[in-house]
């Protein structure tokens, strides 16, 4: 009677004992390593800043050898772009979900979206530091990505404004300038709030931003 052994590393050909193909297992481990590096980047860049990070420090915090860093990223800046995208996605997804779940009333939608947006950034100061402080003035791919994200925020607001103001048919220029001005104001106010330069209650900050958004639409609705 012959016996068979199971290769727990999944290195043998064919399905493993859990029914997974080795190639898929390798791809999963690769994605997992990348996720761990990005999470380590969020922690380090969001707390000590980009200038204080090192490849070795990121890899160590991720529990990986240095060589795995270069499996996914060519340098620290490429990691930073991934970290920035991850931080943006966390905040944006939460805010959009809150906005869309708030019902049909414009005021409720704006209140829910902006409240969630501000809370996501201020409840986790790492996300605010990554998006609003560390990413500014870096140039290159990160600056291009940051500009694209800000334009995307404005575009999301513009789409919602078009739906609300469909009967009034505001000009493209009015909507573009209004939404971009709101994004810029939101960015600056939250940056000042998280840095301590703007000393107000968080609820007051939210209410001010809600009024800013509604002030853009009010001339068309009156």
CATH number for 199: 1.10.357.10
What is the rounded distance in angstroms from the CA atom of residue 121 to the CA atom of residue 136? 16
Which of 73, 92, 115 marks a domain boundary?
73
Q: Which tokens belong to 40?
A: 């380590």
Q: How far from 64 is each of 37, 82, 132, CA to CA, in Å? A: 8, 18, 29
Statement to judge: residues 40 and 131 lie in one domain: no
Lowest mean pLDDT: which of 13-17, 99-103, 167-171?
A: 13-17
Q: How far from 62 is each of 33, 56, 68, 83, 203, CA to CA, in Å? A: 8, 10, 10, 13, 36
Statement to judge: residues 102 and 175 lie in one domain: yes
Split at pLDDT 50, 70, 90, the class of 222 is very low
What is the rounded distance in angstroms from the CA atom of residue 81 to the CA atom of residue 62? 17
The sign one gets for the Cα dihedral 11, 14, 16, 19 is positive
Residue 103, phi-psi category: left (phi > 0), alpha (psi -120 to 50), beta (remainder): left
pLDDT value at 131 more than 70: yes
Is 90 a domain residue?
yes
Which of 57, 73, 89 marks a domain boundary?
73
Instruction: Tell me what the mean pLDDT of segment 20-40 comes to.
Output: 85
Number of domains observed in the structure of the chain: 2
Lowest mean pLDDT: which of 46-50, 90-94, 100-104?
A: 100-104
Is 111 a domain residue?
yes
pLDDT at residue number 156: 82
What is the rounded distance in angstroms from the CA atom of residue 5 to the CA atom of residue 43? 41
Q: Which tokens belong to 118?
A: 């501000």
Statement to judge: residues 81 and 188 lie in one domain: yes
pLDDT at residue number 176: 84
pLDDT at residue number 214: 82
Statement to judge: residues 174 and 100 lie in one domain: yes
pLDDT at residue number 22: 57
This prediction's pTM: 0.80
pLDDT at residue number 18: 43
Is 186 a domain residue?
yes
CATH number for 63: 1.10.10.60
Residue 209 structural domain: 76-221
**Which residue shows structure tokens 């990554």?**
130
- How many Cα atoms within 13 Å fall on the side-chain side of residue 128? 20
Is 7 a domain residue?
no
Instruction: Tell me what the mean pLDDT of segment 42-49 comes to.
Output: 96
Which of 34, 49, 73 marks a domain boundary?
73
């Amino acid at each position: 009677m012959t016996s068979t052994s199971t290769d727990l590393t999944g290195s043998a050909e064919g399905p493993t004992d859990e029914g997974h193909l080795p190639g898929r297992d390798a791809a999963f481990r690769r994605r997992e390593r990348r996720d761990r590096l990005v999470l380590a980047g969020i922690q380090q860049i969001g707390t000590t800043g980009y200038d204080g990070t090192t490849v070795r420090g990121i890899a160590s915090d991720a529990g990986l050898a240095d060589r795995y860093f270069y499996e996914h990223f060519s340098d620290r800046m490429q990691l930073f772009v991934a970290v920035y995208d991850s931080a943006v996605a966390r905040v944006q997804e939460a805010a959009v979900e809150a906005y869309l779940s708030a019902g049909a009333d414009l005021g409720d939608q704006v209140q829910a979206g902006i409240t969630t947006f501000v809370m996501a950034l201020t409840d986790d100061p790492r996300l605010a530091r990554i998006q609003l402080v560390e990413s500014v003035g870096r140039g290159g791919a990160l600056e291009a990505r940051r500009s694209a994200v800000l334009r995307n925020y404005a575009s999301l607001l513009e789409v919602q404004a078009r739906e609300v103001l469909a009967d009034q048919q505001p000009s493209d220029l009015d909507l573009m300038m209004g939404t971009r001005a709101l994004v810029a104001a939101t960015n600056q106010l939250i940056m000042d709030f998280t840095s301590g330069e703007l000393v107000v209650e968080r609820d007051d900050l939210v209410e001010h931003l809600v009024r800013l958004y509604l002030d853009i639409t009010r001339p068309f609705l009156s």
